Structure 1
Amino acid sequence: MSVAIITGTTSGLGRKYVDALINECPEIDEIWMIARRADRLQAIAEHTPQMRFYNLPLDLSEAESFKKLTKTLADKQPKVSALINNAGINFTGDIKDMPASQIQTMINLNITGSTLMIKTCLPYMQPHSFILQVASVSSFVANPHQTVYSATKSYEASFANGLRHELAPKGINVCLAYPGNMETEMNHKLLNAKKKTVINLLPYLNTEKFAHKTIQMAKKGRASYTMLPFYKAFRVVAKLVPHAFLVRFTRI
């Protein structure tokens, strides 16, 4: 049985990945959806009767979730053809003002969770399968007032780039997705938390199109995908201009 696994499935980009996978990967027999909210997982499954789903209501910021996932994989022995490592969280604020619990949650989910997700699924992946790691344009340059978040996304990008070379001999592609501004629950919370922000000025992605394009790129063996000329240019500039200068423009 060919399985695709999506984390952070119940809202935003993760939700769009469900429909995109069905369209772009007709060879998939079943989608495993991982997110904290069981009721939303069930609602997605009921809304999409043309696909078989297996719901895993797990919080990937908690170590116990990986024990449950490891057991489920061992019991079911699926062939994981696609892993979309999308789950992530962002809290905004200066380090001195941010609750330690928020810092720990970002590190637990964005770094530890995303890494262990890949580690746990790898034994069930075969040649021609792919891992799509959702990072962020925030990984290009450090973001003051989003210091922890941008650092965790830089980790994801670095980890995925190295892993791509480790897994190339096995025929497993690792593709990095670099989303920018999107209409998501997380983004709305950030905007509500701080009225004046650079986020308001950045171009918004078509989330549905981004989901489709990143899957297409991953299947083609591409290393990464960035959407819109603005973000593509920002990525190039971040490689050429000293970050000590650019960081002045990434404040929010």
Structure 2
Amino acid sequence: MKTVLITGTSRGIGQSFLEEFGNYPGFKILAGLKTQYEIKTAKQYSQVEYFVLDYGNNQDFKKLEFYLQKNHHSIDTLIANAGISTWGPMLDINEESFKQIFEINFFGTTKLIKTVLPFLVPQGKIIAMGSGSATTTVPFMGIYPISKLAINYLITSLRREMVHHPTYYQVQFAIIHPGSIKTPIWDGAKELSFKTNFPFYSKIATLGLKIIDADMSKSTKPVQVAKLFHQLILKRKIKSTYYIGKNINVIRFLNLLPNGMVDFIFKWAFKLQLKFL
């Protein structure tokens, strides 16, 4: 039986993973939720054991360490799935928003890996969630892609460093870069964003909302990413990077173009759409 520890299971991709595999007899799933209330109200599955983990609370990481020690869990696969998002002009993002996004997305992922690594089996796997926007930054995505790019380099650095570790040199690291996935993460982003102090960005803010809504209507269902998790857990050998999502190939194509050309494409794409507002 494979023991999987996954965070961010209250909604989106994490929730889909539990719905698909929470009763799967080949897995023991340790599922992270942000609050005790979420645990009390969470759906029960035969193979799922819940624990509280708020990435912004250092005490929760200590409690997770104690929980793993107490229950003698050996983790086969760690999936760092929790994260938050935002949208808006970089000039509007205040210091607190920068700190919050990095505290959850980057530092939270880093602390999770450090906490769980001592309980990982020597041939275990660590999988983190990146973003297609981390490789080609879309205008007005704000700090989100920067935090995801940091995670990408974190996983790359660990993969290259851990081969020299006396115990965990066989641990495999992978990052998943999804395109547009239909999850509630962007609902929160819409609530936090579009309160611009710059009048010349007001139309951009309106356009941004339309883009998010249009993107979500044709985006990939989170269950597809959950199924990719399942495949990676069972694979003997995994790759370092995975891409998934309906628009991810467009993003990958843009990565091949010179920066000046990509700048031109985004500039005129936004100008064209603004004419129809």
TM-score, structure 1 normalization? 0.84
Residue 93 of structure 1: which of 83, 88, 96 is its match?
A: 88
Q: Structure 1: how far apart are the matches of 2:93 and 2:189?
A: 14
Contact 1:90 1:186 in 2 (8 A): yes
Alpha carbons 2:129, 2:176 under 8 Å: kept: yes
Structure 1 residues 44-80: Cα deviation after superposition (integer angstroms, max 9, x where no partner): 342x2x2241x22221123232222223233333101
> How far apart are the structure 2 equivalents of 1:162 and 1:82?
19
In 2 relative to 1, CA 5–217 (structure 1 residues): closer, same or farther, beyond 3 Å? closer
Following TM superposition, by how much is the alpha carbon of 1:248 offset from its aligned partner in structure 2, in angstroms? 5.3
Match of 2:62 among 25, 43, 67: 67
| In 2: Cα distance, 1:222 partner to 1:26 partner | 26
- The match for 1:113 is 108
Query: Does 2:190 align with 1:177?
Result: no
1:21 deviation in Å?
Answer: 4.3
Cα 1:218–1:164 change in 2 (3 A) is farther
Query: Which segment is superposed worse, 122-131 or 133-142?
Result: 122-131
| 2:248 corresponds to | 231
Task: Name the SS for the 1:182 alignment partner.
Answer: coil
Given that 2:16 and 2:223 are in contact with CA atoms closer than 8 Å, whether structure 1 keeps it comes out as yes
> Which residue in the other structure is 1:15 paired with?
15
**In 2 relative to 1, CA 127–219 (structure 1 residues): closer, same or farther, beyond 3 Å?**
farther
Mapped partners of 1:45, 1:80: distance in 2? 23
Instruction: Between 171-180 and 190-199, report the one with greater CA deviation.
Output: 190-199
Q: Tell me which of 228, 232, 248 is aligned to 1:217.
A: 232
Provide the aligned C-alpha RMSD in A.
2.7
Q: Structure 1: how far apart are the matches of 2:160 and 2:19?
A: 29
Could you tell me how far 1:43 is from its partner in structure 2? Answer: 3.3
Distance in 2 separating the partners of 1:250 and 1:132 = 31
Equivalent positions of 1:130-149 (< 5 A) are 130-149=125-144
Gaps of 5+ in 1: none
Give the CA deviation at 1:247. 4.5
Matched, 1:51 2:50: no
Structure 2 unaligned residues grouped into runs of 5+? 194-204, 271-277
**Contact 2:132-2:179 within 8 A present in 1 as well:** yes
98 and 176 in structure 1: CA distance in 2 versus 1, 3 angstrom threshold: same
Structure 1 position 196 matched with structure 2 position 195: no
Aligned length: 246
